[in-house]
């Protein structure tokens, strides 16, 4: 029977839909409510399987387009490529502070990181961009925020795990790169050496003054102790000097703490005094480049500058397009507007300059005040500690005096003298340390200034060309994935069940087509195709819920989804398996196809019977096959809705039911032709056909919902067009033996 189908008609093989073995785990699931279409769709995620599906669909088009784009992108990169030069200065930042004789404690755990950030901060870059030689460079001349741009471009990075650091800058002009790096380094070292040397020298001077003052106090205390010793009883003096008293150890410990607290307080006072003097000498000077950058970001300036830039761009376009160019009347009017706007903008800039400068100066002063307040708070804390120790010391003295009942003035003066001598020695030692270490090597040293680079960073833009080529190559494939994501074509049965919420009754293998392949290969593929159709027939006939269904409507969401081929092959399969007569009705009266496939006459047919112009017996064609009789679509003269809504279609199907064991109806697609809903409702069950890699999930879901809403009985989906190799891989093959 299938052989007769392939050779019938005008000699061209019928365009048959494809399908496969049933994939139901149990046929009773067909009618369960959870398969009803729902608006709640599962999340749409682009999986690896989906990407492979999209690539399989589009690789023949995407690959040549990708190769063309890859070559074009690489060529464009090569043409526009300009070599970039990198200038580098080498500096050394010691992990610990260098010293001559005294290893002073390090006052910063993040010294290196601080210096790196300082070189890229406005404190250094502001004076750099203010230099006329740097400001004239092409890289900086037309930039609205040169400091921010320079902060992004100047790199300061360590070399491996060493103490060496490189200050680098890349530019298309090698001389400009070297100038910028050297300017940054010069400003940084000038700022560092000036601030450090002045502060250190002033601290040493104040320490020496304090040392001289302490020396006089010690000498005065020594005189007082000598006088008290002469006046005191020798035995008392000797006892006070050598007597063992447990409170002496407590007093000695307190004296040590008082000495350290006093020295620390004195050092804080000296540093605070030096810092105040330094601030008093320094005028608040904000680099003009920093002020200029802040002015350009001022709201009033931005408000005028944005429309001005738009007018300037429009002026350039008008000059290029209009006849007469700058002399055109519209161009002259726009030029006058631009001039007025520029004058207004310049006036606003001048006003904003004073405001911004004042705000920056106030911010700098406030920051200095905050630093001074922090140092004063530390000093006040040290004073409180010193007072607390002094109170505890006086308390211990009072207790000892009450216990002994004697005057301890001489002993206390001796203790005071010892403490004053220790304080004097520590202050003198600190002064000596600072004075000695002033000659120690700098912690940050310049090893090599930047030289004009002779060779670019990259002679040939291999990396950029590679990236551009890969981007061009993969762009079509990415667009293909996006397109498939938007189109959401049916790729497998699992996708249908997840998104349409309907069971897949069968997968139908693709019908083989002769394209120069061997007859054996075609025969094998044809066998797989026939077996897949037989699987669909078996699922329908043996399913318990469907065993009484004798009128089967075969439809689809839209055109070209293989419903006609499925209807024809299903009718042939049922007739071949049962031996009963089967009626095949072409219900697609708008665009009939069965008569063309089988080489039959279009009329008389269903349309003529429904219009009352012909009897049903006269329209049925029984000559094509003894077991499969055909009712063509007939010639449509009026709207198919009028023919189907008069109730005649039910009587026609009832008469066919009385004559034939099964009736298979090929209906129009659901979405473009709503009369298919009438035929589907009149049938016992409805099968919805989909074509693999052609049908769209959303359309299939909508058609299934419409069938359910109108009272039809859709029992599942048929997945057409499954490649033979894919079908055989999933379900295997089971060929007939040649012994029968």
- Whether residue 110 is predicted with pLDDT greater than 90 in this model: the reply is no
- Whether residue 663 is predicted with pLDDT greater than 90 in this model: the reply is yes
The per-residue pLDDT for 734 is 61
The per-residue pLDDT for 253 is 80
The per-residue pLDDT for 107 is 53
Contact 690, 561 (CB under 8 A): yes
Segment (H or E) for 642: helix 640-644
Half-sphere CA count of 46, side-chain side, radius 13 A: 13
Bridge partners of 142, per DSSP, are none
- Whether residue 440 is predicted with pLDDT greater than 70 in this model: the reply is no
The per-residue pLDDT for 281 is 65
Give the tokens for residue 457: 């960073």
- Whether residue 476 is predicted with pLDDT greater than 80 in this model: the reply is yes
The per-residue pLDDT for 670 is 93
Q: For 688-740, write each residue's pLDDT tens digit.
A: 999 988 888 889 999 999 999 998 999 989 998 888 777 766 666 665 544 44
Q: How would residue 425 be classed by pLDDT, with cut points 50, 70 and 90?
A: confident
Q: For 51-72, write each residue's pLDDT tens digit.
A: 887 887 788 888 999 999 999 9
**Mean of the pLDDT values across residues 652-667?**
92
Residue pointed to by tokens 């020594």: 222
The per-residue pLDDT for 45 is 63
User: Comparing 195 with 49, which gets the higher pLDDT?
Assistant: 49
Name the average pLDDT for the chain. 80
- What dotted CATH number matches 2-44+488-731? 3.40.50.300
How much is the pTM?
Answer: 0.52
Q: Any idea which of 97-101, 163-167, 300-304, 322-326 has the lowest mean pLDDT?
A: 97-101
Among residues 733, 669, 666, the alpha carbon closest in space to that of 696 is found at 669
Cα 24–27–30 angle (5° rounding)?
90
The per-residue pLDDT for 31 is 36
- Whether residue 368 is predicted with pLDDT greater than 70 in this model: the reply is yes
The per-residue pLDDT for 485 is 79
- Whether residue 352 is predicted with pLDDT greater than 80 in this model: the reply is yes
Q: How would residue 408 be classed by pLDDT, with cut points 50, 70 and 90?
A: low
**Mean of the pLDDT values across residues 148-166?**
91
Strands (E), 415-474: 444-448
The per-residue pLDDT for 36 is 41
Regarding the domain with residue range 85-220, which homologous superfamily does it belong to in the CATH classification?
FepE-like (3.30.1890.10)
- The three-class DSSP label of residue 629 is strand
The per-residue pLDDT for 295 is 84
DSSP annotation string for 2-61: HHHHHH-SSSSPP----B-S---S-GGGGG-GGGS--S-PPP----HHHHHHHHHHHHHH
Q: How would residue 531 be classed by pLDDT, with cut points 50, 70 and 90?
A: confident
- Whether residue 344 is predicted with pLDDT greater than 70 in this model: the reply is yes
Domain residue limits, the chain: 2-44+488-731, 59-78+461-485, 85-220, 251-439
- Whether residue 26 is predicted with pLDDT greater than 50 in this model: the reply is no
The per-residue pLDDT for 178 is 94
- Whether residue 166 is predicted with pLDDT greater than 80 in this model: the reply is yes
Sheet holding 504-509, edge to edge: 504-509, 714-722, 685-691, 551-556, 662-666, 582-586, 628-631
Contact 328, 318 (CB under 8 A): yes
Distance of alpha carbon 498 from alpha carbon 581, whole angstroms: 37
Phi and psi at residue 426, to the nearest 5°: -65, -40
- Whether residue 232 is predicted with pLDDT greater than 70 in this model: the reply is no
- Whether residue 278 is predicted with pLDDT greater than 90 in this model: the reply is no
Q: Pinpoint the alpha helices (H) of 505-615.
A: 519-542, 563-578, 594-598, 606-610
**Mean of the pLDDT values across residues 366-382?**
84
Q: Any idea which of 305-309, 317-321, 363-367 has the lowest mean pLDDT?
A: 363-367
Query: Residues with Cβ < 8 Å from 240, sequence gap 6 or more?
Result: 232, 408, 410, 411
Burial classification of residue 144, based on how many CB atoms lie within 10 Å of its CB (0-12 exposed, 13-18 middle, 19 or more buried): exposed
Burial classification of residue 702, based on how many CB atoms lie within 10 Å of its CB (0-12 exposed, 13-18 middle, 19 or more buried): middle
The per-residue pLDDT for 367 is 78
Give the tokens for residue 664: 């298979």
Contact 688, 718 (CB under 8 A): yes
**Mean of the pLDDT values across residues 569-577?**
90
Distance of alpha carbon 120 from alpha carbon 26, whole angstroms: 73
Same fold, 2-44+488-731 and 85-220: no
Give the tokens for residue 183: 């300017």
């Amino acid at each position: 029977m299938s052989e007769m189908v392939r050779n019938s008609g005008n000699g061209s093989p019928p365009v048959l839909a494809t399908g496969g073995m049933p994939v139901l785990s149990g046929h009773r699931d067909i009618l369960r409510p959870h398969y009803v279409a729902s608006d709640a769709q599962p999340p749409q995620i682009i999986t690896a399987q989906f990407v492979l599906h999209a690539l399989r669909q589009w690789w023949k088009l995407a690959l040549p387009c990708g190769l063309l784009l890859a070559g074009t992108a690489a060529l464009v990169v090569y043409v526009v490529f300009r070599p970039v030069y990198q200038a580098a200065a080498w500096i050394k930042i010691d992990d610990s502070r260098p010293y001559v004789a005294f290893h002073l404690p390090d006052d910063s755990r993040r010294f290196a990181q601080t210096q790196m950030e300082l070189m890229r901060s406005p404190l250094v870059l502001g004076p750099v961009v203010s230099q006329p030689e740097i400001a004239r460079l092409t890289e900086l001349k037309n930039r609205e925020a040169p400091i921010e741009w320079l902060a992004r471009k100047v790199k300061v990075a360590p070399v491996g795990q060493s103490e060496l650091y490189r200050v680098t800058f890349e530019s298309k002009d090698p001389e400009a790169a070297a100038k910028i790096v050297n300017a940054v380094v010069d400003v940084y070292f000038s700022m560092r050496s000036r601030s450090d040397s002045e502060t250190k020298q002033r601290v040493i001077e104040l320490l020496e003054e304090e040392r001289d003052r302490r020396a006089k106090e010690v000498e005065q205390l020594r005189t007082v102790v000598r006088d008290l010793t002469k006046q005191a009883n020798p035995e008392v003096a000797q006892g006070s000097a050598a007597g063992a008293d447990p409170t002496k150890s407590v007093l000695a410990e307190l004296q040590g703490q008082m000495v350290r607290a006093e020295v620390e307080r004195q050092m804080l006072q000296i540093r605070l005094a030096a810092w105040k003097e330094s601030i008093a000498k320094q005028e608040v000077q904000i680099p003009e480049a920093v002020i200029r950058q802040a002015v350009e970001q001022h709201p009033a300036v931005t408000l005028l500058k944005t429309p001005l830039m738009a007018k300037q761009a429009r002026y350039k376009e008008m000059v290029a397009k209009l006849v007469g160019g700058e002399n055109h009347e519209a161009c002259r009017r726009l030029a006058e507007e631009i001039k007025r706007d520029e004058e207004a903008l310049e006036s606003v800039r001048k006003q904003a300059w004073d405001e911004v400068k004042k705000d920056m100066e106030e911010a700098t002063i406030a920051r200095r005040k905050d630093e001074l307040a922090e140092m004063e708070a530390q000093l006040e804390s040290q004073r409180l500690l010193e007072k607390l120790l002094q109170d505890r010391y006086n308390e211990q003295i009072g207790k000892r005096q009450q216990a002994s009942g004697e005057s301890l003035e001489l002993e206390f003066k001796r203790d005071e003298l010892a403490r004053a001598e220790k304080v004097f020695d520590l202050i003198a030692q600190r002064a000596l340390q600072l004075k000695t270490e002033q000659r120690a090597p700098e912690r940050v040293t310049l090893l090599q200034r930047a030289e004009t680079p002779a060779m670019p960073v990259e002679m040939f833009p291999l990396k950029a060309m590679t990236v551009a080529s890969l981007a061009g190559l993969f762009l079509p494939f990415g667009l293909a994935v996006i397109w498939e994501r938007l189109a959401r074509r049916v790729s497998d049965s699992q996708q249908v069940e997840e998104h349409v919420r309907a069971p897949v009754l069968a997968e139908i293998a693709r019908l083989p087509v002769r394209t120069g392949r061997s007859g054996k290969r075609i025969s094998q593929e044809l066998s797989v195709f026939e077996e897949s159709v037989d699987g669909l027939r078996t699922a329908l006939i043996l399913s318990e819920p469907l065993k009484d269904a004798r009128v089967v409507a075969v439809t689809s969401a839209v055109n070209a989804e293989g419903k006609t081929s499925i209807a024809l092959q299903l009718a042939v399969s049922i007739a071949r398996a049962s031996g009963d007569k089967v009626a095949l009705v072409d219900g697609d009266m708008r665009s009939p196809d069965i008569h063309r496939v089988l080489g039959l006459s279009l009329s008389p047919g269903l349309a003529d019977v429904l219009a009352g112009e012909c009897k049903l017996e006269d329209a049925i064609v029984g000559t094509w096959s003894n077991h499969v009789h055909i009712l063509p679509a007939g010639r449509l003269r009026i709207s198919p809705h009028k023919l189907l809504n008069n109730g005649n279609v039910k009587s026609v199907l009832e008469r066919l039911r009385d004559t034939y064991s099964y009736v298979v109806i090929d209906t129009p697609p659901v979405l473009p032709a709503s009369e298919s809903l009438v035929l589907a409702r009149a049938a016992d069950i409805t099968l919805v056909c989909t074509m693999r890699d052609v049908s769209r999930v959303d359309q299939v879901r909508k058609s299934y919902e419409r069938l359910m809403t109108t009272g039809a009985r859709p029992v599942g989906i048929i997945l057409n067009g499954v490649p033979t190799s894919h079908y055989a891989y999933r379900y295997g093959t089971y060929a007939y033996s040649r012994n029968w």
